[in-house]
Chains A and B, each alone.
Chain A
């Protein structure tokens, strides 16, 4: 098991730094480029939501991104100390409705759920929030049976 950690401020200019970090971690885990692209997008969406909503675009909040991989699973945790958040209050997006209302929020959460195998939220009000994203990795040589 190998873990890596990145700490950045809550600025959108750091999204590219975060993507590079995830890309390098995923490459070390031997993840294929297709899967890697999905993971990178899911992490970008999670961090964009944190910057915009948890920190309300205030640029000096902290995001801590940790990656961990085993042979079967690549996991990313993102911790912030911004406003807490109740994911169950965010409805699934209805694009036709969005079009009529010109609303664009909620798309990121939907993408995260679609692109990853598991998305979990932990929110301890006044302490921290954590998003846990995980993707199952197909192991080339399987000892199944």
Chain B
């Protein structure tokens, strides 16, 4: 069975979701729940770190599409960081870099939120 898990931490107003393992149609609901929880808590400044993510399919990409509008309407954003070349290529094929800010490291993504406040 595909191994996937997430961990959520907070740094000031920014919430960071770390992804680990394989994100596919089976495991995408785990990440969906993370977004739902954060939105319920009115935490709209979200960094998703991909450093430990081995694999993503379009079902995983769909999760980002599902919540981005709601989050931006609440003056927040989802910023992405730490993608491997392999994962970035899939985002790139689908034109995601036009829709999301992507950073090399988690700390750069967090910094962007604090700068633009």
Residues of A at the B interface (CB closer than 8 Å) are 11-13, 15-16, 19, 37, 41, 44-45, 48, 51-52, 93, 95-96, 98-99, 102-104, 107-108, 110-111, 114-115
Contacts and interface: CB of A to CB of B under 8 A. Distances in A.
B65 A102 contact: yes
A13 B65 contact: no
Contact of B58 (A15, A19, A37, A107): A107
Given A48-B57, A48-B59, A16 B22 contact: yes
A97 B93 CA distance: 16
A15 B94 contact: no
A48 B99 contact: no
Interface of B: 1-2, 22, 24-26, 55, 57-59, 61-62, 65-66, 68-69, 86, 90, 93-96, 98-99
A99 B99 contact: yes
A110 B26 contact: no
Nearest to A34: B86
A110 B62 CA distance: 13
A119 B96 CA distance: 23
Nearest 9 A/B pairs, CB to CB: A104-B62, A16-B2, A12-B26, A107-B58, A95-B95, A48-B25, A108-B58, A12-B25, A104-B65
15 contacts: A12-B26, A13-B26, A15-B2, A15-B26, A16-B1, A16-B2, A19-B2, A44-B24, A45-B57, A45-B58, A51-B25, A99-B65, A104-B66, A108-B59, A111-B90
B1 A44 contact: no
A107 B62 contact: yes
Contact of B26 (A16, A37, A41, A102): A16
A65 B69 CA distance: 37
Contacts of A103: 65
Contacts of A108: 57-59
Contacts of A115: 93
